[in-house]
């Protein structure tokens, strides 16, 4: 740099910088030091406007924020693409979980018409799962973002001795279709969804033989008379199927004799040892239980209160899913219910699904089932299977008709010849 240029710079800076003899120089009004001012002058750099500098800082910060957001988005996409799945429903061994809507895999035991059965597909000729509960479960897809898949199962797969069956315990399915949330052991070992059918639509009852005068008799041909209808020393058949079926054995012990309004059946006293007054005997089917009653092996059968009525008009000679000839035209002629309308043995009616305790699938099913039960499709399913008196009425239902099976015995006025005996005098 020439001497003239240096002198010019010194003169330029003299307006801002004092001689050393005059003491320290004051700072620039924008916070710059005297050295910075001299350097700017030497290099020919004019001082930057403070407002412009502030805007540059803001723009820079905004660009950095945008770039950071973009990078984080890319990283998130990469990370998610390397994770196999984000399950929206409980996982099952060997079953690919849903990447989108929750998937529910249900085991279905056919042979329980009209609730679960097998029908032939007209186009393929293949047998397929069908029935009212099957259609209700599938109908949940129309009101919820859920995938419902069903696979044929057996009784032993789903429920054994009122606990989880082999397949249910091992996680082959999320749940099984169509069981009753009964009091007792079932509640301690199983998880139930809400009911698809009303609790009072499938009450339990006690079926006995009738003599030629249409009066109830025990296995020794003695009359079951008297207000107490005391069954001390008698034998009661129940259905184990062979792995547990409603109404359950422990349900009988907890049920109420509505004729006496006692909390225990058939005994004159309410004691903790009432169970010892009679004995319970397991049979593999309702056919077997009725056969035992008629053969005088047992005194009574603890079964659904509508079973005999439903089968009273079955086609002669039919053996699937039950032996029609055992039941046909027998109600009120050869056998009758001495107690019916028993609903105080369950928390709820026929539930849509049952799982092992703690499975956690019930809340998802409950939400979708409740929505489906408000639809016209639910009414159509109930109508199709002649179950209007069993379903929960919604806006599409007329008032349901009552039935003798659903009424408590204390409310009946009918004789045993009707199939449903009133309380004895």
pLDDT reading at 291 higher than 70:
yes
* pLDDT at res. 276: 53
Shared domain for 179 and 239, answered yes or no, is no
Considering the chain, what is the average pLDDT of its residues?
A: 79
Do 357 and 316 lie in one domain? The reply is no
Give the CATH number of the domain where residue 155 resides. Answer: 3.40.190.10
Q: Does residue 424 belong to any structural domain of this protein? A: no
Highest mean pLDDT among 292-296, 317-321, 396-400: 292-296
How much of the chain exceeds pLDDT 70, in percent?
73
Q: Is the dihedral of CA 28, 33, 38, 39 positive or negative?
A: negative
331 and 280: one domain?
A: yes
**pLDDT tens digit string along 394-407?**
999 986 656 667 78
Integer Cα distance of 363 and 192 in angstroms: 10
Q: Are residues 273 and 408 in the same domain?
A: yes
265: exposed, middle or buried (Cβ count in 10 Å: 0-12, 13-18, 19+): buried
130 and 237 in one domain? no
Residue 148 lies in a domain: yes
pLDDT digits (tens, 9 = 90+) for 345-363: 888 888 999 999 999 899 9
- Confidence grade of residue 201 (pLDDT, cut at 50, 70, 90): confident
- Alpha carbon separation from 383 to 132, 353, 379, 391 (Å, rounded): 10, 21, 6, 9
Residue 362 and residue 296 share a domain: no
Q: How far apart are CA 78 and CA 197, in angstroms?
A: 48
Q: What is the DSSP letter of 173?
A: S
Query: Which carries the bigger pLDDT value, residue 219 or residue 47?
Result: 219
423: left (phi over 0), alpha (psi -120 to 50) or beta: beta
Residues of the domain holding 248: 204-342+404-418
Return the structure tokens found at 251: 């349900």
Q: What confidence score (pLDDT) does residue 71 get? A: 75
The two three-digit tokens of residue 169, written as one number: 């315990």
Contact 248, 303 (CB under 8 A): no
Q: How many domains does the chain have?
A: 3
What is the band of 21 on the pLDDT scale with cuts at 50, 70, 90? very low
The C-alpha atoms of residue 117 and residue 109 are separated, in whole angstroms, by 8
Residue 183: inside a domain, yes or no? yes
| 98-112, 166-180, 384-398: least confidently modelled range | 98-112
Residue 362, domain member (yes or no): yes
Q: Is residue 261 part of a domain?
A: yes
Specify whether 210 is located in the same domain as 332.
yes
Residues 336 and 413 in one domain: yes
pLDDT over 90 (residue 85): no
Residues in the chain: 425
Rounded Cα distance, 143 and 145, in Å: 7
Residues contacting residue 367 through CB under 8 Å, at least 6 positions apart: 144
Q: Are residues 212 and 333 both part of a single domain? A: yes
What is the reported pLDDT for 274? 44
> Are 119 and 237 found together in one domain?
no
Residue 85 lies in a domain: no
Six-digit token string for 418: 């009707």
CB atoms within 10 A of CB 212: 6
- Separation of alpha carbons 65 and 19, rounded Å: 47
Q: Give domain status of residue 316, yes or no.
A: yes
33 confidence band (pLDDT: 50, 70, 90): low
Q: Which residues pair with 342 in a beta bridge?
A: 204
Residues 120 and 216 in one domain: no
Task: Tell me how crowded residue 129 is: count the other CB atoms within 10 A of its CB.
Answer: 22
CA pseudo-torsion sign 205, 241, 202, 162: positive
The confidence score (pLDDT) of residue 87 equals: 45
Q: Are residues 136 and 235 in the same domain?
A: no
More confident residue, 225 or 221: 221
DSSP label at residue 169: H
């Amino acid at each position: 740099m020439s001497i003239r240029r240096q002198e010019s710079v010194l003169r330029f800076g003299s307006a801002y910088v004092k001689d050393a003899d005059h003491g320290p120089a004051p700072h620039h009004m924008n916070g710059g030091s005297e050295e910075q001012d001299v350097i700017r002058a030497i290099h020919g750099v004019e001082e930057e406007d403070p407002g412009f500098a502030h805007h540059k800082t803001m723009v820079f910060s905004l660009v950095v924020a945008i770039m950071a957001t973009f990078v984080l988005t890319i990283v998130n996409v990469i990370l998610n693409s390397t994770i196999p799945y984000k399950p929206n429903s409980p996982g099952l061994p060997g079953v690919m979980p849903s990447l989108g809507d929750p998937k529910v895999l249900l085991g279905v035991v056919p042979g329980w018409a009209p609730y679960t059965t097998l029908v032939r597909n007209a186009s393929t000729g293949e047998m397929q799962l069908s029935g009212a509960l099957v259609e209700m479960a599938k109908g949940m897809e129309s009101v919820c973002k859920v995938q419902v898949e069903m696979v044929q199962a057996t009784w032993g797969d789903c429920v054994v001795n009122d606990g989880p069956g082999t397949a249910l315990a091992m996680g082959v399915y999320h749940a099984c279709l169509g069981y009753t949330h009964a009091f007792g052991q079932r509640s301690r070992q199983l998880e139930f969804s809400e009911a698809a059918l009303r609790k009072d639509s499938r009450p339990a009852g006690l079926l006995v033989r009738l003599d030629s005068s249409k009066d109830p008799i025990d296995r020794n041909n003695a009359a079951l008379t008297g207000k107490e209808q005391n069954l001390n020393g008698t034998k009661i058949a129940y259905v184990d199927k062979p792995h547990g079926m409603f109404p359950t054995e422990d349900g009988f012990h907890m049920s109420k004799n509505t004729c006496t309004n006692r909390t225990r059946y058939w005994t004159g006293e309410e004691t903790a040892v009432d169970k010892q007054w009679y004995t319970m005997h397991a049979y593999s089917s309702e056919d077997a239980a009725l056969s035992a009653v008629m053969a005088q092996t047992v005194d009574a059968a603890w079964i659904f209160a509508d079973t005999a009525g439903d089968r009273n008009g079955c086609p002669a000679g039919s053996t699937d899913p039950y032996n029609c000839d055992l039941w046909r035209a027998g109600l009120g002629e050869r056998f009758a219910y001495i107690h019916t309308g028993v609903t105080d043995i369950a928390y709820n009616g026929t539930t849509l699904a049952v799982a092992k305790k703690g499975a956690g699938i019930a809340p998802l099913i409950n939400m979708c089932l409740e929505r489906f039960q408000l639809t016209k499709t639910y009414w159509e399913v109930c109508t199709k299977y002649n179950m209007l008196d069993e379903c929960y009425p919604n806006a599409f239902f007329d008032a349901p008709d009552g039935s003798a099976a659903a009424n408590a015995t204390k409310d009946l006025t009918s004789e045993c010849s009707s199939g449903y005996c009133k309380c004895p005098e």
